Amino acid sequence: MPHFDIITVGGGLGGSAIAKVMAERGAKVLVLEQELCFRDRVRGELLAPWGVAELRELGLLETFRTAGACEVPWLDLGTGPRDLVATTPQRLPALTYSHPQIQEALIDAAQKAGAEVRRGVAVQGIQPGADPTVECKGNGSVERITGRLIVAADGRNSAARKWAGFKSQRDEHPFLVAGVLLSDVSAREDLCSIIFNPNSGTATFAFPQGNGRFRTYLSYPMSAEYRIQGKEKLALYLAESVKAAPAFAGFYANAKDCGPLASFDSNDSWIEHPYRDAVALIGDAAATSDPTYGQGMSLTLRDVRVLRDQLSSVSDWDRAGHRYAQQHDTYFANCHTVSGWFRHIFQEQTPAAAVQRQKAMPLIAQDPTRIPDHLNSGPDLPVDETIQLRFFGEC
Ligand SMILES: Cc1cc2nc3c(=O)[nH]c(=O)nc-3n(C[C@H](O)[C@H](O)[C@H](O)COP(=O)(O)OP(=O)(O)OC[C@H]3O[C@@H](n4cnc5c(N)ncnc54)[C@H](O)[C@@H]3O)c2cc1C
């Protein structure tokens, strides 16, 4: 007999969420999380309306609210404020929060729902197959534990996906994303600002968290002469952000950092069909998407919902795992395609992209609804040539 129905490798957003919702449905769940205390790793802190809808479906909205999540109804892409509640099919705002606070709240919620949570325990191997096993180390001792299903939710540098024998695909982009939490920012607290500067291939982001604190990012070409990494680069970060988006000069006039400053690659990397031999991958372990387009947490919550629904609908969990993986391929592919369109129009520094922009940008300025809305409204919107041609100013 396996020790547990489900063992999650990682107790971040994905691992804790699946643990909570499956423990609530009577599954015996074990969460293995290496961190004793979550810290700011410069991760996602803006959840798009379609991700908020997933959260609501999972019954986790209240957990986020209690952990301090703020509703942000307005979004400005440089074309003027847009009311997300009035204009998304979900009729929902975006949600912003401190990522580590949400991680603590979720892992706590998983435990309260009946999952066994072990912290300070690092998984160091997985054996997929009929009796899938994890090998983990904590308190100086190594243990092998079997489950009926292993859910690998160990993030963008997932080792679990390699141990379980998955092959990843990679799409490399010539941009980096720097981010830092700032205090003393003078900007609207009910509005997220995202300004693309196609001439320089940069994009600047500010997402409010209340009381003058904003999670901010700057996406910039890898060809830049600098790397924005470490506290000592704050002045450069602020200066480059304002250069990319002059409207941010007022926002950042008195800004101070209140967390680490780090840059990440913006590559997409994913697994086709993220299930095999009683191991399911979810969240960033299944697909890491370009942070510039802020889809990672919504995708993670979609993974949790789809996997939960499949595991709850059939007793054959192998079948459930394959069905989850099939759905994952479709919705991730849609996100991937649409993000590629955005990168081409708003960021790429190639002659072909410049020509396309000359057609697209004047039409977008007249009618911002030409911009596809998948990043707010989700990957179930149609993704076809008509949508692309309209965005690209070809019709
Ligand atoms: C710069 C940046 C900005 C982003 N901005 C956004 C945004 O605005 N909106 C958005 O939706 N998404 C954003 N994202 C993406 C988002 O942060 C991720 O998609 C999300 O955090 C994925 O959650 P996860 O649970 O899969 O992984 P993680 O949050 O990385 O959690 C993985 C967990 O597994 C644990 N772990 C790892 N290895 C082991 C092991 N061997 N044993 C035990 N535990 C282990 C880790 O400690 C961690 O707690 C951004 C990402 C980056 C890098």
Q: Residue 79: its pLDDT value, please?
A: 85
Which amino acid, one-letter code, is at 386?
T
pLDDT tens track for 195-245: 999 999 999 999 999 999 999 999 999 999 899 999 999 999 999 999 999
Q: Whose CA is nearest to atom 37 of ligand 1?
A: 154
Query: Is any ligand 1 atom within 6 A of the Cβ of residue 262?
Result: no
Instruction: Decide if pLDDT at 27 tops 80.
Output: yes
Tokens representing 367?
Answer: 């009618």
Q: Which atom of ligand 1 is nearest to the CA of 297?
A: 11
Instruction: Decide if pLDDT at 383 tops 90.
Output: yes
Give the Cβ contact number of residue 281 at 10 Å.
32
Q: Rounded to 5 degrees, what are φ and ψ at 207?
A: -120, 120
Q: Residue 52: its pLDDT value, please?
A: 98
pLDDT-derived band of residue 192, with 50, 70 and 90 as boundaries? very high
Q: What spacing in Å lies between the alpha carbon of 296 and ligand 1's midpoint?
A: 8
| Residues near 112 by beta carbon (within 8 Å), at least 6 away in sequence | none
Q: Residue 368: its pLDDT value, please?
A: 92
Q: What spacing in Å lies between the alpha carbon of 324 and ligand 1's midpoint?
A: 20
Query: Is any ligand 1 atom within 6 A of the Cβ of residue 42?
Result: yes
Instruction: Decide if pLDDT at 93 tops 90.
Output: yes
Q: Whose CA is nearest to atom 11 of ligand 1?
A: 297
Are 188 and 214 in contact by the 8 Å Cβ rule? The answer is no
For residues 151 and 79, what is the distance between their CA atoms, to the nearest angstrom?
41
Q: Whose CA is nearest to atom 1 of ligand 1?
A: 43
Helix (H, G, I), strand (E, B) or coil at 271: strand
pLDDT tens track for 346-365: 999 999 999 999 999 999 99
For residues 193 and 294, what is the distance between their CA atoms, to the nearest angstrom?
13
Q: Residue 107: its pLDDT value, please?
A: 98
Alpha helices in the chain (DSSP H): 13-24, 49-57, 61-66, 84-87, 99-112, 160-163, 234-244, 248-251, 296-313, 317-346, 351-366, 374-377, 385-391
Q: Whose CA is nearest to atom 27 of ligand 1?
A: 155
Record the pTM. Answer: 0.98
Q: Whose CA is nearest to atom 26 of ligand 1?
A: 283
Q: Residue 139: its pLDDT value, please?
A: 87
C-alpha distances out from residue 268 to 67, 84, 169, 367, 374, Å: 30, 27, 8, 30, 17
Q: Residue 310: its pLDDT value, please?
A: 98
Considering the chain, what is the average pLDDT of its residues? 97
Q: What spacing in Å lies between the alpha carbon of 153 and ligand 1's midpoint?
A: 9
For residues 169 and 269, what is the distance between their CA atoms, to the nearest angstrom?
5
Query: Is any ligand 1 atom within 6 A of the Cβ of residue 300?
Result: yes
Instruction: Decide if pLDDT at 30 tops 90.
Output: yes
Instruction: Decide if pLDDT at 2 tops 80.
Output: no
Q: What spacing in Å lies between the alpha carbon of 188 and ligand 1's midpoint?
A: 27
Specify burial of residue 20 (Cβ count, 10 A radius: 0-12, 13-18, 19+): buried
Tokens representing 65?
Answer: 């609210």
For residues 304 and 225, what is the distance between their CA atoms, to the nearest angstrom?
40
Instruction: Decide if pLDDT at 1 tops 90.
Output: no
